[in-house]
Amino acid sequence: MRAFTMRSKVEELAIQLRYADSIIIGAGSGVSTAAGFTYAGKRFKTYFADFEKEYGFHDMYSGVFYSFQTLEEYWGYFSRLIYINRYIMPPVPVYQKLLRVVQDKDYFVLSTNVDHCFQRAGFDKQRLFYTQGDYGLFQCSKPCHQKTYNNKNIVLKMLETQGFLRTENGEYKITEKSGWNLKIPKELVPTCPICGRPMTMNLRGDDTFVEDEGWHKASAGYADYLQTHSKRKVLFLEIGVGMNTPVIIKYPFWRMTLAWPNAIYACINQGQAVVPKEIRSKSICINESIDSVLDELQR
């Protein structure tokens, strides 16, 4: 019965995808988790076993909040975190599958993820709005100015000082030497080019988050997209969005589905696909894994 229910809901979603004038995707952390970007288990053990032994935390998320004593230790940890979650592709091609589902449609993506997987999978950069920042950008920690800086080159240098070896395909892998250095050299600690204060990652955590020119351009693009599509046949496709930050994607999608006469809301999130009664008749909730639903949609 469950398989039949899932199949019927996926078929209903496929119909809505086919006939929608536009698709507005709202993506949360569940999409990257489905793609294999997990913060514990094998990935953590592979890249952070030495940090676990030295500092006693057992997943990447705990490491984010660890009070490292020096900036050299801090960036030793965060350079690895940035690299594996921003500069290598996730092991499961969930983003590529989603692109195949919507690539011939008029779409826009709103995402709270900071791993840039949508753009790396081939989604149109002009149709993306990353609201919470980007692992690939640094900013002043104060901040003294509203500008961000690409961090790829410096992050790769940090990895090399820790014993990571660059392979022929350009990726960095663990070697026998890896893990000898939990710290980076002092000269690689990034500092603000304007005020000299330490740099930090461009991730929204408090009021120091820098909304740079690119952020404002993407925000304006999303606002314009909503304004010009409110009367059309729109499918709000919410994927992997939990209740940590529902005010960014989930609640606005619910409100617009209720207010827009031709809007349909669909939610894919295993065990967490729910909808208020006010829009139940305009909604499709699929409580199954994202990867399996995307596979079904491509059949």
Q: Which domains does the chain have, with CATH numbers?
A: 1-36+94-121+217-299 (3.40.50.1220)
Segment 146-150 long-range contacts (CB within 8 Å, at least 24 positions apart): 146/210, 146/211, 146/212, 147/210, 147/212, 147/213, 148/202, 148/210, 148/212, 148/214, 149/193, 149/199
pLDDT value of position 245: 83
Whether residue 168 is predicted with pLDDT greater than 90 in this model: the reply is no
> Using an 8 Å Cβ cutoff, are 112 and 248 in contact?
yes
Calculate mean pLDDT across residues 279-297. Answer: 96
More confident residue, 216 or 176: 216
pTM: predicted TM-score of the whole model, two decimal places: 0.94
Calculate mean pLDDT across residues 47-74. Answer: 96
Alpha helices for the chain (secondary structure H)? 2-19, 29-34, 42-55, 60-64, 71-82, 94-102, 117-121, 152-161, 213-229, 250-259, 290-297
pLDDT value of position 1: 37
pLDDT value of position 61: 95
Which residue, among 244, 293, 297, 250, has the nearest Cα to 275 in the 3D structure? 250
pLDDT band per the 50, 70, 90 thresholds, residue 181 = confident
pLDDT band per the 50, 70, 90 thresholds, residue 57 = very high
Q: Which residues contact 98 (CB under 8 A, 6 or more apart)?
A: 25, 31, 121, 239, 294
Task: Give dist(CA 197, CA 190) in Å, integer.
Answer: 9
Task: Give dist(CA 105, CA 20) in Å, integer.
Answer: 8
Calculate mean pLDDT across residues 224-233. Answer: 97
pLDDT value of position 180: 67
pLDDT value of position 169: 83
Residue 55 in tokens: 């500092």
Calculate mean pLDDT across residues 83-103. Answer: 96
